[in-house]
Structure 1
Amino acid sequence: MTGIQYLACLWTLFITQTGFVCSDIQFLERTEGESVVLPCVIEQRNPSPFGVYLKRSWLDPREVLFKYTNSNVSVGKADDKSRISGGGDPSTHSLNVTISQLSASDTDRYYCEFLVTNPTSTDDRIPGKTEFFLLVNADAAGSVDIGLVETCSGGSAVLPCLPPHGDALAVEGVSLKRQRGRAPVEVLYHSKRHHGSSAPSSSSSSQFPVERVQLSSAPGPRGITYNLTLQQLQPDDSALYSCQLLLRGGTDTSSSLGRHVFFVSVQGGHCECSSYSTLLYALSSAVVVLLLLLLLGFVMICKGKARRSVKSLPQAPIYEEMTVVQPASRKLQPQHLEEMGSEYTNCHVKKFCPENHYESPSGALCPRADSQT
């Protein structure tokens, strides 16, 4: 029981004191000139937050906005005051931040951070329930499917390579584009060209070392699928990536990322989100297992007590049973002795004789009481 209480207290203390929540990420795509609303929300808590930040954490890490409860919004850059506003109040555990007149430079990863008073130490910083990845395109050519790939420093990321149009019937090469600023940049290119009957020639270029790039293929439900693995990634490699297959006879002059884009987020040092999640899951699993063991032990104890109570039910003692049986035996014993005496004692035993005379085995009659007198 002590171990269970200790783990439960440790788990609760970890959640409440650190305030760390591995938040979800929401992808938002907009076109230049449009607007976007970023809702900052946390769970209800006591005491309520007294302030909230909106921050950028990728291309241009900085504070975008701050709002103190019952006060006006403070914007980080003077040029953004006319296009950034906030509705709501931190004390209500929510704040909606609106960014209008978007430009490609607004592409970044955003997150909210609430400030909560802690009487015993510095103020707690509680991240919002959701992070936002905002992609602002220069034109409205078409929607983009964005996926998230998170890894640690020195880790790897697997990106599926898809053809620009239709199925990949005749794959000739692969191209990997990356976008960190306004325009994508091709960081990997490998293609094989056939010139008539001559031997095929190949051309390739890459900003990644050869040992950090690996292309693999495998049969899938829609034919052969291709995956590109980027290895030994560093925080500077965080960016938007799009891997495209080069088809035979097609052109590879496109400068866009394509319809399928992946945001590769490389965290420096330890993967805090993953490690904290693993720790939370481990603590939760330990508490659940120990509670189950405690419940099982409680059930076994109850069953043991029930069995002992059944075995220890009060039974009538032997002497009480004999006491109950003795009166009947005592009632029968005089009659039995009477019969025995009438047969063998020839009425020498002093006893009351009824009026009827019984014949003894010797033939003598039992004398009347008046004749004896």
Structure 2
Amino acid sequence: MTLHLTSVWLLLITHTVLVFCDMEFLERTQGDSVEFYCISEFNASKPIGLYLKRKWLQPNQEVLFMFTKQTPAYYDDVKERIHVTGDPSTLRVNVTLSQLKGTDTDLYYCEFVFPDASNADQKIPSNMELFLYVDDVGVKCSCTSYTLLLYVLSSAVGLLLIFLMALGVAHYVKTRGDRITLQPHQASIYEEMAGVRPPNRNGKVSYHPSPPPHLEEMVASAYDNPPLCRQENHYERPAEET
């Protein structure tokens, strides 16, 4: 029984992560009762009918169909154990299933029927799904199938986690790579003395040697002994001729 319940939880985790739907988990014992709340989020028009269906162990198995303002039609196995209140036209219907059995364990969902201009009516399922697990203490089941199911679900969850981790690592590496910027080249003292310029965009290094010694001496002497020039005095009187 523990193995069975573990496989159920793995199914819920896998289904919730992969399908991205709202799910409610209910655990009951054999003979208990459970209530389903069928609520339509689509309110553009009034629905004309409602389906309650099973999805996992008995895919697309109809539990009931209710046409607005009429008596519901039930599946044979639940005909004596089901009670319905409300009407599809109000966007909410409550379904109570009593005297639960182990075979009632399944994933249930509600599907509302809306009128359409075309011949085919539009069926829109509710966002909420309900997983009912009935602990049938009086029945001993073979655990071989559940063991296989457990392995399959465990592998699916493991692959999903590895995929999510790979996405996280790729995003981290990309973000870190965008933050790394190239540092500008700083010329060393030797390069400055030798006249070597830092590399350009193409990665080439240019070398500019110092001028010849005689030019350096001329430039130095020009700065050391600047030419003297006589400053003109505008107030000095010119010399008189005799």
TM-score w.r.t. structure 1 length?
Answer: 0.33
CA distance in 1, matches of 2:46, 2:74: 22
Change (3 A) 1:207 1:99: closer
CA distance in 1, matches of 2:148, 2:126: 36
Q: Which has the larger radius of gyration?
A: 1
CA distance in 2, matches of 1:30, 1:103: 9
Match of 2:131 in 1: 133
Change (3 A) 1:229 1:101: closer
Question: Residue 230 in 1 paired to residue 175 in 2?
Answer: no
- Percent identity (aligned): 42
SS in 1 for 2:44: coil
Q: What is the Cα deviation at residue 22 of structure 1?
A: 5.9
Q: What is the Cα deviation at residue 120 of structure 1?
A: 3.7
> Among 49, 52, 74, which residue is 1:51 paired with?
49
SS in 1 for 2:117: coil
Match of 1:367 in 2: none
Match of 1:68 in 2: 67
Change (3 A) 1:207 1:109: closer
Q: What is the Cα deviation at residue 231 of structure 1?
A: 5.2
* Unaligned stretches of 5+ residues in structure 1: 1-20, 141-180, 189-205, 214-227, 234-373
> Among 91, 98, 101, which residue is 2:99 paired with?
101
Q: Give matches, 1:104-119, under 5 Å.
A: 104-119=102-117
CA distance in 2, matches of 1:69, 1:29: 31
Match of 1:34 in 2: 32
SS in 2 for 1:230: helix
Q: Give matches, 1:204-223, under 5 Å.
A: none
Change (3 A) 1:121 1:230: same
Q: What is the Cα deviation at residue 229 of structure 1?
A: 4.3
Q: Is the 8 A contact 1:105 1:182 kept in 2?
A: no
Change (3 A) 1:102 1:232: closer
Change (3 A) 1:231 1:37: closer
CA distance in 2, matches of 1:112, 1:231: 27
Q: What is the Cα deviation at residue 80 of structure 1?
A: 1.8
Amino acid paired to 2:117: P
> Among 116, 120, 123, which residue is 2:121 paired with?
123
Match of 1:183 in 2: 141
Change (3 A) 1:121 1:29: same
Q: What is the Cα deviation at residue 230 of structure 1?
A: 1.5
Q: What is the Cα deviation at residue 139 of structure 1?
A: 3.9
SS in 1 for 2:89: helix
What are the Cα deviations for residues 299-343 of structure 1, in whole angstroms up to 9, with x where unaligned? xxxxxxxxxxxxxxxxxxxxxxxxxxxxxxxxxxxxxxxxxxxxx
**Bigger helix fraction:** 2
Aligned residues: 138
Q: What is the Cα deviation at residue 182 of structure 1?
A: 6.6
Change (3 A) 1:103 1:127: same
CA distance in 1, matches of 2:91, 2:126: 9
Change (3 A) 1:98 1:44: same
Change (3 A) 1:28 1:76: same
CA distance in 2, matches of 1:66, 1:232: 35
CA distance in 2, matches of 1:229, 1:135: 19
CA RMSD of aligned residues (A): 3.2
Q: Taking CA–CA contacts closer than 8 Å with sequence separation of 6 or more, which of the two structures ends up with the larger relative contact order?
A: 2
Q: What is the Cα deviation at residue 86 of structure 1?
A: 1.1
TM-score w.r.t. structure 2 length?
Answer: 0.50
CA distance in 2, matches of 1:183, 1:124: 40
SS in 2 for 1:95: strand
Match of 2:190 in 1: none
SS in 2 for 1:72: coil
Q: What is the Cα deviation at residue 232 of structure 1?
A: 11
Q: What is the Cα deviation at residue 117 of structure 1?
A: 0.6
Q: What is the Cα deviation at residue 138 of structure 1?
A: 2.1
SS in 2 for 1:54: strand
CA distance in 2, matches of 1:59, 1:207: 15
What are the Cα deviations for residues 107-144 of structure 1, in whole angstroms up to 9, with x where unaligned? 0111110000111452111101210110000249xxxx
Change (3 A) 1:29 1:121: same
